[in-house]
Amino acid sequence: MQNAQELKVLLGQPRKAVVLMHYKPDADALGSSLALAAWLKKGNHTVTVISPSDYPSFLNWMPGNSDVVIFQPGRSDGPARAIAEADLVFCLDFSSLSRINELGEMVRRSSAKTVLIDHHLEPERFADFEEWDSSAASTAELVYRLIVELGGEDKIDCCIADCLYAGLMTDTGSFRHNNTTDEVFVTAASLVKKGANPHRVSKLIYDNNTLSRLRLMGYVLSQKLQVIPELKTAYITLSRDELRQYESQTGDTEGLVNYGLSIKDIVLSVLIYERKDGSVKLSFRSIGDFSVNDFARQHFEGGGHKNAAGGQSSLSLDDTLAKFLGILPSYRDLLQHEGYITTLPTNQESKQNKA
């Protein structure tokens, strides 16, 4: 952060702070937010953590979870008041205010100083302070980096460390994605030294399934996963009725899109599903140079990272699939050219490219 010293001065006395994360937060968004909130509280600040929506129950173990205010439009003016009265608003794991729906306008109207901590591509430049790095694997890493920059590392306890470790672990796909740099391992090691427990965190996040979620996965893998070999693409669609049949809860679809990419030679994997409110959501994953951030931005009002992005569609599920399948052939050359693992740079080459 360029003006870290200025932020440090601001935090030199007790402030009213709000911590916001993106809609349908994942372990990185929630873990980073709860870690930052716990750290701020240790500095005698008053902190309100607000989520724009509910989130998966496998994240409920995170220390501070019970204090998270879930924004429900029209239900209470608590979040609006907290944002209006805040001295500081921290925005975590999203790069554009549109990702927090109505809360975005409240942030725009607020006179609070805003702090963006994020690793998504193409940020909207709305914040007074930015800890932004699209080469960082997770927002958790950036929260850790900021805390160190502000000289507050000694206040990281095992609860804060567990929350940050959860973000780091999940956003690197358990240290498997191509964002798994040496800094990731150094940060992970520092967090473990501070008391994070990798075994416990991974059990809590990954081994917390309901039987119906596993049945849903079985159904998806046996009946719904489609492959277009000539376009190196895999896709899955799930309707509201199908999700209802498997008693799907928030978060149950998370990770399904990764199965497509686990098929040999597949370069692009897509999950298209209907939310409870009928809207259609898309999740994209890719390997190598095919940018799903560009694809989602261009065609599905979305974005994210080069190899992991999301978007939405106002069409029906069937029409969204038809739109996707209609667009895909125009990417034939790019998709066919992508040579899977042989094109991935070695760690050394990645470093040289960055230098």
Q: C-beta of 120: minimal distance to ligand 5GP in Å?
A: 6
Q: Which does 64 bind (CB under 5 to 8 A by kind): ligand 5GP, Mn ion, none?
A: none
Residue 311 Cβ, how far from ligand 5GP at the closest point, in Å? 5
Q: Which of residues 153-172 bind Mn ion (CB under 5 A)?
A: 171
Q: Which is nearer to Mn ion, 105 or 133 (CB)?
A: 133
Q: How far apart are CA 277 and CA 123, in angstroms?
A: 28
Within residues 290-319, the interface with ligand 5GP by CB under 6 A covers: 302-305, 308-312
Residue nearest ligand 5GP, CB atom distance:
310
Q: Answer left, alpha or beta for residue 333, where phi above 0 means left and psi between -120 and 50 means alpha.
A: alpha
**What is d(CA 59, CA 230) in angstroms, rounded to the nearest whole number?**
39
User: Closest-CB residue for Mn ion?
Assistant: 28
> Minimum distance from CB of 6 to ligand 5GP (Å)?
28
CB of 256 to ligand 5GP, least distance (A): 10
What does 139 interact with, of Mn ion, ligand 5GP, none (CB < 5 to 8 A by kind)? Mn ion
> What does the DSSP assignment read for 212-228?
HHHHHHHHIIIII-EEE
| Among residues 33, 48, 96, 139, the one that binds Mn ion under rule CB under 5 A | 139
The mark string for 115-134 relative to ligand 5GP (x by CB under 6 A, - otherwise) is -----x--------------
Rounded to a whole number of angstroms, the minimum distance from the CB of residue 298 to ligand 5GP is 12
CA atoms of 54 and 77, how far apart (whole Å): 17
The answer to whether 293 and 301 are in contact (CB under 8 A) is no
Whether 303 contacts 297, CB under 8 Å: yes
Among 87, 93, 162, 242, binds Mn ion (CB under 5 A): 93
Out of 22, 113, 145, 194, name the contact with ligand 5GP by CB under 6 A. 22
Residue placing its CB nearer to Mn ion in the complex, 140 or 287:
140
Stretch 224-283 residues interacting with ligand 5GP (CB under 6 A)? 283
Neighbours of 173 (CB within 10 A): 17
CA–CA dist 297, 320 (Å, integer): 15
Residue 300 Cβ vs ligand 5GP, minimum distance, rounded to whole Å: 8
Whole-Å CA distances, 66 to 12, 34, 109: 27, 10, 28
Q: Which DSSP string do the residues of 32-64 spell out, in sequence order?
A: HHHHHHHHHHHTT-EEEEEESS---GGGTTSTT
Q: Which residues between 171 and 190 bind Mn ion (CB under 5 A)?
A: 171
Q: CA distances (Å), 258 to each of 33, 91, 218, 296, 345, in order?
A: 25, 27, 14, 17, 21
Q: How far is the CB of 343 from Mn ion (least distance, A)?
A: 25
Residue 354 DSSP SS3: helix
Q: Binders of Mn ion: how many residues, by CB under 5 A?
A: 4
What residues line the site for Mn ion (CB under 5 A)? 28, 93, 139, 171
**Chain residues that interact with ligand 5GP, rule: CB under 6 A:** 22, 99, 120, 283, 302-305, 308-312
